[in-house]
A and B are shown apart, each in its own frame.
Chain A
Amino acid sequence: MSALSVTAAAPRASLLRRLASQEALLALAVIGLAIAVGFVNPRFLAYRNLADILLGNAYIAIAAIGMSMVIISGNIDISVGALIGVLATVSGSLAVAGAPILVCWLVPLVLGVVIMAAQGAVVAYLRIPAIVVTLGMMSILKGGLISVTGGKWITDLPQGFHLADLSLFGAPMPVVIMVAATALAALWMRWSPSGRAIYATGGNAEAARLCGVNPQRTVVMVFAIHGLFAGIATLVYATQLRVIQSTTPPGLELTVITASVVGGVSILGGVGTVVGSTLAAILIAEITSALVFIDVSPYWTDAVRGALILATVVADIQRRRRRAERGVRV
């Protein structure tokens, strides 16, 4: 009897520990890597460099919040990079055309929500796999952007446009927005019924339906929120630039997906937190910067990122399988 209770209790305890540990592990990695690289090249730890890492990559962490929700709900989106490129161009063009600054900031948010919600509706109600819809949308946005703008750069942005240059309580705006967005999203997903519905839908859509969750509406909502975060990410990204190139940042969708997956969001849906994805986004940015400081060619960055996502995915699946096997035995 006592042996039984021990075996039954063990997996639960380790499961709790594991859930807590993905975020803790990432935080440790962020700090450990900084110290290790600091030994090799102390200039890495200069305030300016650490600040640049955070400022330059806050938008990836913000976009990864929405992406995490999409993946937790059991879907995927590969159009987000192209969308951010389009929204940045729209926002910049409005600013140059003399639109009020508030309009320049709000239009990307609204447009992001509309485009993503439309994709979510096609995925949820017409039952087309998200990969097909977002692959198609990616090429529509990418091609549309270049053919409309002709790849022209947007310069002479008005002074007030640069939201990212502002600071709040002494902290730069991109970092403030990143932390606030992560905290709000994390609390909402943890404690609100609609936040829990995302996990329920991704874990088992049929079971979620039987529990009174509307999986279709949840998917549309998740994509809409993802669009909102893509809009916020665009603001942080575009208002940092002095020149907006009307192209899509190449491979951005992969960086965002990597942040989500490395952050512990299970690619099979149903598991993960946005705190993890934000930490992972910071870790990836840190690795990219570290490579430069330890004299590795920046051309290897993408390979490192690819290896990182592959290793995390394999580890995630292995861990799930082990857990499932143990569950069967108990």
Chain B
Amino acid sequence: MSALAERNARRAPKWLTRHETLLALILIVALIGLGEFNSRFLTVENLLNQGRLMTEIGLIALPMTFIIITGGIDLSVGAIVGLSAVMLGYSWKNFGFPLPLAIVFALAVGGLAGFVNGFVITRVKVPPLIMTIATLALYRGLAEGISQARSVRGYPEWFYVLGQGEVFGVPTQLLILIVLIVIAGVALDRTTFGRSLYAIGSNETAARYSALDVDRTKLVIYTLSGLASGLAAIVLVSRVTTTRMDMGMGYELDAIAAVVLGGTSIFGGAGTIWGTVIGLVMIQLLKNGLALTGVKGDATIVVIGVALILSVLIASSLQRRRE
């Protein structure tokens, strides 16, 4: 017993061996390294621009963290981005909605898409993986069918403030992301809602017997995931000034990679918003760093794929050693 206490005392303090701390250290090293390598990298302008570019994935990665903590997954987020974007353009152009109403409508479509996921997952008990693969096909198909693969452009000037403008010198959407990160972080850490996510992910049956409303909680997080994807769609449309049905393709990979890289266990029960934010920044740095060294975009998704598998491998082998 005393030997154990002694060994614990000699071991590094707990916060230092945490996944997030290690990641943050790697992140700082990577930042300095990239800065040394390329003088264009460590400029305020470039960093703010990278923040702008990572917002869409970031918005999606926040509720994805909640979902993965409960042991679920949402593969339909990219398709929801496509569907919401199409509904924004379609309702504005074809229904003649005023743009503010079209924005609300697109958000509502995103929320509804997420709600349908959550509803079938909780009521019919379809596994989240299968449900969201099915709706990935369905939502993308709806986006394609409704838009007939036509794009919509020519939005009014004020709409571009969201995706291209800045407030106090900071990109507008980055401010929104930061506010939502703080809200999500506090909600996960300090509220019964947040703590119940861990309980569900660790042992769902135990959570049910502890009188947690598991189904309602799941319904809420999948709906949030749809809403966040809808918001990401609006930010994306505002940034690139056009609406296309193939928008958001592959976003699920980036969002899941950010969450898992940030130390959230793919098996559920563990994870933090702060970790996800670090994972998100690392992925964006990876993309930017590779782009600055002349690597094309397609090669960066190879690196993200490798990072995804490796981070899960390392996390699970660390876990096994601890046990």
Contacts and interface: CB of A to CB of B under 8 A. Distances in A.
A302 B312 contact: no
Given A129-B266, A300-B145, A313 B131 contact: yes
A306 B142 contact: yes
B46 interface: no
B313 A126 contact: yes
A131 interface: yes
A274 to B, nearest CB: 19
Contacts of B299: 143-144, 147
B129 interface: yes
A121 interface: no
Interface in A248-296: 251, 254, 257-258, 261, 267-268
A140 B137 CA distance: 21
Nearest to B308: A136
Interface in A64-112: 76, 78
A139 B133 contact: no
A114 B147 CA distance: 41
Nearest to A127: B316
Interface in B236-266: 250, 252-253, 256, 260, 266
A304 B305 contact: no
Q: Is the interface of A mostly helix, strand, loop or mixed?
A: helix
B141 A126 contact: no
B89 to A, nearest CB: 15
Given A128-B316, A254-B133, A268-B127, A136 B305 contact: yes
A132 B309 contact: yes
A310 interface: yes
B124 interface: yes
Contacts of A268: 127
B252 to A, nearest CB: 8
Interface stretch (A7-15, A184-192, A228-236, A314-322): A314-322
Interface in B133-189: 133-142, 144-145, 147-149
A135 interface: yes
Contact of A300 (B73, B125, B141, B256): B141
A267 B295 CA distance: 39
Given A126-B316, A309-B137, A139 B301 contact: yes
A152 to B, nearest CB: 13
B133 A257 contact: yes
A297 B149 CA distance: 11
Given A76-B129, A140-B306, A307 B256 contact: no
Nearest to A138: B305
A303 B138 contact: yes
A133 B252 CA distance: 14
Contact of B125 (A122, A254, A303, A317): A317
Contact-size category for A: 35 or more
Contacts of A301: 141
A251 B137 CA distance: 8
A128 B136 CA distance: 23
Contact-size category for B: 35 or more
Interface string A142-159: 111011000000000000
Contacts of A122: 309, 313
B16 interface: no
B6 interface: no
A297 B146 CA distance: 10
A306 B138 contact: yes
B263 to A, nearest CB: 14
A321 B123 CA distance: 12
Given A267-B127, A321-B125, A133 B133 contact: no
B145 A297 contact: yes
Contact of A132 (B135, B145, B308): B308
B126 A314 contact: yes
Contacts of B127: 267-268
B305 A137 contact: yes
Contacts of B120: 310, 314
Interface in B282-314: 295-296, 298-302, 304-306, 308-309, 312-313
B130 interface: yes
A143 B300 contact: yes
A169 interface: no
A226 interface: no
A131 B129 contact: yes
Contacts of A142: 298, 301
Interface of B: 73, 75, 120, 124-127, 129-131, 133-142, 144-145, 147-149, 250, 252-253, 256, 260, 266-267, 295-296, 298-302, 304-306, 308-309, 312-313, 316-317
30 contacts: A126-B316, A127-B316, A128-B309, A128-B316, A131-B73, A131-B75, A131-B129, A132-B308, A132-B309, A135-B308, A139-B301, A140-B302, A143-B298, A143-B299, A143-B301, A267-B127, A268-B127, A297-B145, A297-B148, A300-B145, A301-B141, A303-B145, A305-B137, A305-B141, A306-B140, A309-B133, A310-B120, A310-B134, A314-B126, A321-B125
A-B pairs with lowest CB-CB distance, top 5? A306-B138, A303-B141, A302-B141, A139-B305, A306-B137
